């Protein structure tokens, strides 16, 4: 099992700046930050993860007999909070907990050029694509086939996009 990556103070500061930029974009679009409880029902995480993950997960039993675990990631708790509020979600499953090879989340922005510029100044690196069905410019922005969009990866390698809202 690989060790956790070591980050120096400068890289952590850069990552904090990127996170702040992304959170600001969410706030500007009227999204609210959620912080799910650190203890979650274990079956949500462990039933589909297999014994290897179960062995590595801190599991405890509450006084009522329910198995709980430390929240291993945020997707399930955020979805649970969203669903509890009456929302609906659609998720693409990915086996073996590998980073997604497709866009997992689009951030709608009024101006892709401005969003890319602001995020680039904060250290976000946008992907450059030169494929038959997807070409981006030097900034990483694709235009001409649907809304203008630019893609970037999170530290785990999942793909996200800023996409211009239809006017």
**CB atoms < 10 A from the CB of 139, how many?**
13
**What's the pLDDT at 75?**
55
| Banded pLDDT at 116 (limits 50, 70, 90) | very high
68 three-class SS: strand
Higher pLDDT, 166 or 94: 166
**What's the pLDDT at 1?**
45
**What's the pLDDT at 138?**
96
Give the whole-angstrom CA distance, residue 26 versus residue 79.
17
pTM for the predicted model, two decimal places: 0.48
- 46-67 burial, b at 16+ Cβ within 10 Å, e below that, comes to beeeeeeeeeeeeeeeeeeeee
Whether residue 92 has pLDDT greater than 60: no
State the Cα torsion 76-81-84-90 to the nearest 10°.
-50
pLDDT in tens, 20-78: 888 888 888 887 777 767 677 877 666 555 566 666 677 778 888 888 876 666 555 56
**What's the pLDDT at 161?**
87
């Amino acid at each position: 099992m690989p060790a956790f990556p070591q980050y120096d103070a400068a890289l952590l500061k850069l990552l904090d700046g990127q996170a702040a930029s992304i959170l600001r974009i969410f706030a500007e679009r009227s999204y609210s930050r959620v912080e799910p409880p650190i203890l979650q029902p274990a079956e949500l995480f462990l039933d589909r993860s297999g014994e290897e993950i179960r062995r590595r997960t801190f599991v405890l039993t509450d006084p009522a007999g329910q198995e709980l675990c430390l929240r291993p990631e945020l997707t399930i708790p955020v979805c649970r909070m969203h669903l509890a509020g009456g929302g609906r979600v659609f998720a693409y499953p990915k086996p073996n907990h590998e980073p997604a090879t497709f866009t997992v989340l689009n951030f709608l922005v009024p101006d892709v050029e401005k969003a890319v510029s602001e995020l680039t100044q904060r250290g976000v690196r946008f992907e450059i694509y030169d494929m038959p069905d997807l070409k981006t410019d030097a900034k990483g922005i694709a235009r001409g086939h649907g809304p203008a969009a630019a893609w970037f990866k999170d530290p785990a390698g999942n793909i996200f996009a800023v996409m211009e809202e239809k006017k």
